[in-house]
């Protein structure tokens, strides 16, 4: 059977793949510590579960409007208004089956063959593959660890062509944990305005920020930039609701309408019950995410401190999200027996086999020098995992 060419352009999600391997090893009775999953280990808040139960009991179990229920769109409109001062009509909001699906609808509605999409690198794995799936060309804009992964005017301008169509902004970033300050966002906005780019602002980690940092959405910089920005967000990370699959977008009406039409011909509505649960999450305010962030902060410090004491490893303190992204290039001269440990993938494989800890290699995020570890797991697991990792790295010979 001959498959469509687009199927050959992409790889299955590496993070989901490694998590599945770790789970399979655990099912065989191995004590695997999972630093690969990109999801909070907290349980979904009780009021959210109660709203879902009430929805089931009330028989709210049928198709809904394909683009999402009015009640949830209102909660989203209110969230943008109260938290960011951004004003949207409900017709400018689309609710989808997770932010990944939101981004996919967006890619389908926006990209044509030949279009170029600027993606600051390192980047979240699905951006590149979703662009490829929609026949467009990802243009990776390499940022440097030394600069804190800063995106500069010079860097962006060096990658612009007449085919540039959009730029993806992801602050706080998965995998680096870096955030963009106002000055950086202003540069991006200025370039977007001058070069007629659509800004895709993935703000899924907006509430997971440390050291008192405040989230800034690029859409808040001016009405002109808001008019060409699609803000993407969801409840997965902020409310520990990864399994419920609710993401959303707000942006220019023609683009949102096109995305909604595509959704109406593919998945139809996101789950009715999850939509009611998402209303409870968004109306519940920030108490839950704030508590979670206090705990993530302790874990962040522990993990980064431990990583920095390991031979051949150095790790920046992430400013947001829940990932450490240590540089492990210092290990590349070493070996395990006859096996050279000379790439992030080799390090990840060695750690999974020898130390039974699951981490994600940097290659699919666009880095040949890093691995990604999630600290959205308990302090005890982090302490034990770091002990194992340190012991495993000390066994490597030069
Ligand atoms: C940067 C980023 N965007 C979007 C998503 C998708 O989130 P979801 O589809 O669970 O809403 C993720 C999940 O890992 C992410 O890390």
Residue 289: pLDDT band with limits 50, 70, 90 = very high
List residues near ligand 1 (CB under 6 A).
38, 98-100, 124, 170, 174, 202, 204, 234, 236, 242, 247
What domains, with CATH codes, occur in the chain? 5-43+288-394 (3.90.1150.10), 62-285 (3.40.640.10)
Distance 158 CA to ligand 1 centre (A): 28
End-to-end CA gap in the chain: 48
Centre of ligand 1 to C-alpha 336, Å, is 35
Q: Is the peptide bond before 172 cis (omega within 30 degrees of 0)?
A: yes
Atom of ligand 1 nearest to the CA of 100: 9
Atom of ligand 1 nearest to the CA of 170: 1
Mean pLDDT, the chain, whole residue set: 96
Torsions phi, psi for 202 (to 5 deg): -90, 105
Average pLDDT, stretch 250-277?
Answer: 98
Half-sphere exposure for 153 (CA within 13 Å, toward CB):
8
Coil, strand, or helix at residue 251?
Answer: coil
What are 138-197's pLDDT values in tens digits? 999 999 999 999 999 999 999 999 999 999 999 999 999 999 999 999 999 999 999 999
Q: Which atom of ligand 1 is nearest to the CA of 173?
A: 1
Q: For a substitution probing ligand 1, which of 126, 130, 176, 360 has the most ligand atoms within 8 Å of its CB?
A: 126
Give the tens place of pLDDT for each residue, 11-35. 877 677 777 888 889 899 999 999 9
Structure tokens given for 26: 């655990």
What is the structure's pLDDT at 16?
73
What 3-state DSSP class applies to 177?
A: coil
What are the helix (H) ranges across the chain?
Answer: 5-8, 14-27, 46-57, 70-79, 99-110, 125-133, 153-159, 182-194, 223-226, 253-264, 272-283, 287-308, 344-350, 379-394
List the one residue out of 328, 318, 331 whose CA is nearest residue 369.
328
**Is residue 108's pLDDT more than 80?**
yes
Question: In ligand 1, which atom is closest to the CA atom of 15?
Answer: 14
Contacts made by residues 132-141, CB under 8 angstroms, sequence distance 24+: 132/6, 132/9, 132/10, 133/6, 133/9, 133/10, 133/104, 133/107, 134/107, 134/108, 135/6, 135/111, 136/107, 136/111, 136/112, 136/165, 137/163, 139/164, 140/366
Which residues pair with residue 232 across a beta bridge?
Answer: 202, 249
Please state the separation of Cα 138 from the chain's center in Å. 17
SS3 label, residue 42: coil
**Which atom of ligand 1 sits closest to the CA of residue 99?**
11
Model confidence band, residue 265 (pLDDT cutoffs 50, 70, 90): very high
Token representation of residue 17 = 């793949």
Ligand 1, from 100, 170, 215: best to mutate by most atoms within 8 Å of Cβ? Answer: 100
Tokens, residue 307: 């990583």
Structure tokens belonging to residue 187:
């540069």
């Amino acid at each position: 059977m001959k498959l469509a060419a687009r199927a050959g352009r992409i790889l299955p999600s590496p993070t989901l793949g490694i998590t599945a391997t770790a789970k399979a090893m655990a099912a065989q009775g191995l004590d695997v510590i999972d630093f690969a999953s990109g999801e909070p280990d907290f349980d979904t808040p009780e009021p959210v579960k109660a709203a879902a139960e009430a929805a089931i009991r009330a028989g709210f179990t049928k198709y809904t409007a394909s683009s999402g229920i009015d009640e949830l769109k209102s909660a989203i409109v209110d969230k943008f208004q109260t938290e960011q001062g951004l004003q949207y009509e409900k017709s400018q909001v689309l609710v989808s089956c997770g932010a990944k699906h939101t981004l996919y609808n967006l890619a389908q509605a926006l990209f044509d063959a030949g279009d170029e999409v600027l993606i600051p690198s390192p980047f979240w794995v699905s951006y590149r593959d979703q662009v490829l799936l929609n026949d467009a060309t990802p243009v990776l804009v390499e940022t440097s660890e030394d600069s804190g992964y800063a995106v500069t005017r010079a860097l962006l301008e060096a990658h612009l062509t007449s085919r540039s169509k959009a730029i993806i902004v992801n602050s706080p970033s998965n995998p680096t944990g870096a955030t963009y300050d106002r000055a950086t966002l202003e540069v991006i906005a200025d370039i977007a305005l001058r070069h007629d780019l659509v800004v895709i602002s993935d703000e899924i980690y907006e509430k997971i920020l440390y050291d008192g940092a405040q989230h800034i959405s690029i859409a808040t910089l001016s009405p002109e930039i808001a008019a060409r920005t699609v803000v993407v967000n969801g409840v997965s990370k902020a409310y520990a609701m990864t399994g419920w699959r609710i993401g959303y977008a707000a942006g220019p009406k023609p683009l949102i309408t096109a995305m909604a039409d595509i959704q109406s011909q593919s998945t139809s509505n996101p789950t009715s019950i999850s939509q009611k649960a998402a209303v409870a999450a968004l109306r519940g305010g920030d108490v839950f995410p704030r508590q979670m962030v206090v705990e993530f902060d302790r874990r962040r410090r522990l993990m980064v401190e431990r990583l920095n004491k390991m031979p051949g490893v150095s790790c920046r303190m992430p400013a947001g999200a829940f990932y450490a992204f240590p540089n492990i290039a210092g290990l590349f001269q070493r070996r395990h027996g006859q096996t050279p440990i000379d790439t992030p993938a080799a390090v990840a494989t060695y750690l999974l086999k020898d130390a039974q800890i699951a981490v994600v290699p940097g290659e699919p995020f666009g880095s040949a020098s890093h691995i990604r570890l999630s600290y959205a797991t308990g302090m005890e697991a982090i302490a034990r995992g770091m002990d194992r990792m340190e012991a495993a790295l000390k066994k490597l010979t030069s």
